[in-house]
């Protein structure tokens, strides 16, 4: 068995993880910028807990609440400027995947005033990013534990990720209770995202050793959660806990393994049709798992033993994937696939059997 696992994030799990461990924030600095988006941080109670924790430790703070879905590089740079103006020494991101991803980019911009918005993709800068602490309020991305930040280019509208050791948070406060205010639709979409992470990562060649254990832990957890969501819109605390910790385990999986072709294909649906990220990835679950059955039959049998028959799993995912009114067609599919003409994403090569630009167009055309 060959492989490498690197996980430098200090993860604090459980109820009151933030409140009971406020002292850990003192090591990051004496002033911070709290990064949020919309109203999720407030509704979840996480923002109030964060403010109380910072005040308890005598840490000054200001709030930047302008992070939207699919965070724009221009807004992240603006937040970086806000951090400098308030003399922030660390970033505290509170929210779903968009906010957590943005926090990693904001930390880079904050310490590099001469970095233009687009230059963040070059991955070259002089100063180390500010330290980052994260508090998740959704059960989807696993961004709390990954070294990835997915950002959107304002000019093109295209999502593109940055990754590296500089994108790891120092601390992640993982409290499933902060997901309790998440509406049903958002709970479904983020759970589908977590399932995509778990399954796509599981079928890569990098899924070995402890990563395999994480995958085999979270796949049945999240799948059982999806079945419950499919049967009822009533979400118990037990279900929210199952989905949240499942999403963190899935984040540990993709941190080593990455994702497969449903993710870059899903970007097409998000960018051009406004489909939420998790739902967009789930739209390609059926063709993905069908290819896994052909090119990775042994793992597929193990996957079935953890879940249900492939047809049953596909039916559950499809029942939660709302694509009404979306029809791409052959012409548009071939146009969208041109984005992969010069360089195929690593996600394509990581998929069992690989994927070509032409095959990607075929899959898109079937939506």
pTM of the complete model? 0.95
Residue 5 placed within a domain: no
Domain boundary among 129, 155, 178: 178
User: Is residue 101 situated within a structural domain?
Assistant: yes
* 194 and 161 in a common domain: no
Same domain, residue pair 103 and 200: no
CA dist 47 and 59 (Å) reads: 15
Q: How buried is 176 (Cβ within 10 angstroms: 0-12 exposed, 13-18 middle, 19+ buried)?
A: buried
Q: Tell me which of 147, 178, 209 is where a domain ends.
A: 178
Q: Among 348, 365, 330, 320, which Cα is nearest to 264's?
A: 348
Please report the pLDDT score of residue 134 as a whole number: 98
Q: Are residues 73 and 150 in the same domain?
A: yes
Q: The dihedral of CA 87, 151, 149, 126: what is its sign?
A: negative
Last residue in a domain, options 178, 198, 217? 178
pLDDT of residue 4: 81
Same-domain check for residues 174 and 191: no
Kindly state whether residues 23 and 65 are assigned to the same domain.
yes
**Which pLDDT value is given to residue 3?**
77
Same domain for 338 and 192: yes
Per-residue confidence (pLDDT) for residue 50, from 0 to 100: 98
Q: What is the per-residue pLDDT for 1?
A: 61
Question: Which pLDDT does position 117 carry in this prediction?
Answer: 97
Judgement on whether residues 312 and 280 belong to the same structural domain of the protein? yes
CATH of the domain at 351: 1.20.1090.10
Q: Is residue 4 part of a domain?
A: no
In terms of DSSP bridges, do strands 148-152 and 132-136 run parallel, antiparallel, or are they unpaired? Answer: unpaired
Is 297 in a helix, a strand, or coil? helix
Residue 297 maps to a domain: yes
Mean pLDDT for each consecutive 10-residue tract of the chain (367 residues)?
A: 85 97 97 94 97 98 96 98 98 97 98 97 96 96 96 94 97 98 96 98 95 97 98 95 97 97 97 96 98 98 98 98 92 96 93 97 95
| Residue range of the domain that includes 106 | 10-178
Q: What is the pLDDT of residue 140?
A: 86
Q: Look up the CATH number of the domain holding residue 75.
A: 3.40.50.1970
| Shared domain check, 135 and 82 | yes
Based on the fold, state whether residues 35 and 171 are members of the same structural domain. yes
Give the model's pLDDT for residue 38: 83
The verdict on 97 and 74 lying in the same domain is: yes
Q: Is residue 328 part of a domain?
A: yes
> How many separate domains does the chain show?
2
For residue 1, is it within any domain?
Answer: no
């Amino acid at each position: 068995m060959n492989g490498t696992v690197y996980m430098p994030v200090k993860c604090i799990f459980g109820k009151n993880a933030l409140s009971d461990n406020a002292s850990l924030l003192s090591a990051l600095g004496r002033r911070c910028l709290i990064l949020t988006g919309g109203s999720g941080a407030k509704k979840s109670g996480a923002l109030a807990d964060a403010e109380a924790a910072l005040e308890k430790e005598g840490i000054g703070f200001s709030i930047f609440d302008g992070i939207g879905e699919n965070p724009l590089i221009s807004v992240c740079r603006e937040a970086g400027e806000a951090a400098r103006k308030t003399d922030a020494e660390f970033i505290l991101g509170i929210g779903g995947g968009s906010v957590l991803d943005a926090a990693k980019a904001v930390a880079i911009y904050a310490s590099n005033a001469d970095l233009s918005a687009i230059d963040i993709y070059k991955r070259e800068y002089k100063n180390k990013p500010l330290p980052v602490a994260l508090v998740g309020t959704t059960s989807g991305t696993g961004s709390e534990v990954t070294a990835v930040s997915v950002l959107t280019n304002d000019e093109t509208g295209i999502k593109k990720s940055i990754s590296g050791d500089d994108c790891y948070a120092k601390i992640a406060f993982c409290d499933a209770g902060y997901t309790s205010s998440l509406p049903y639709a958002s709970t479904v979409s983020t759970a589908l995202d977590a399932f995509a992470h778990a399954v796509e990562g599981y079928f890569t060649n990098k899924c070995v050793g402890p990563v395999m254990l994480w995958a085999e832990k979270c796949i049945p957890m999240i799948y059982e959660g999806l079945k419950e969501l499919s049967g009822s819109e009533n979400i118990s605390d037990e279900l929210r806990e199952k989905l949240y910790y499942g999403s963190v385990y899935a984040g540990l999986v993709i941190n080593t393994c990455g994702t497969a072709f449903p993710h870059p294909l899903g970007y097409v649906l998000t960018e051009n049709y406004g489909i939420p990220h998790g739902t967009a990835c789930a739209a390609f679950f059926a063709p993905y798992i069908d290819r896994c059955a052909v090119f990775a039959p042994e793992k597929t049998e193990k996957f079935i033993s953890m879940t249900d028959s492939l047809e049953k799993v596909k039916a559950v995912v499809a029942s939660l994937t709302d694509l009404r009114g979306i029809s791409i067609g052959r012409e548009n599919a071939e146009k969208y696939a041109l984005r992969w003409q010069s360089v195929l994403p690593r996600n394509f090569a990581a998929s069992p059997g690989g994927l070509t630009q032409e095959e990607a167009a075929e899959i898109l055309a079937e939506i």
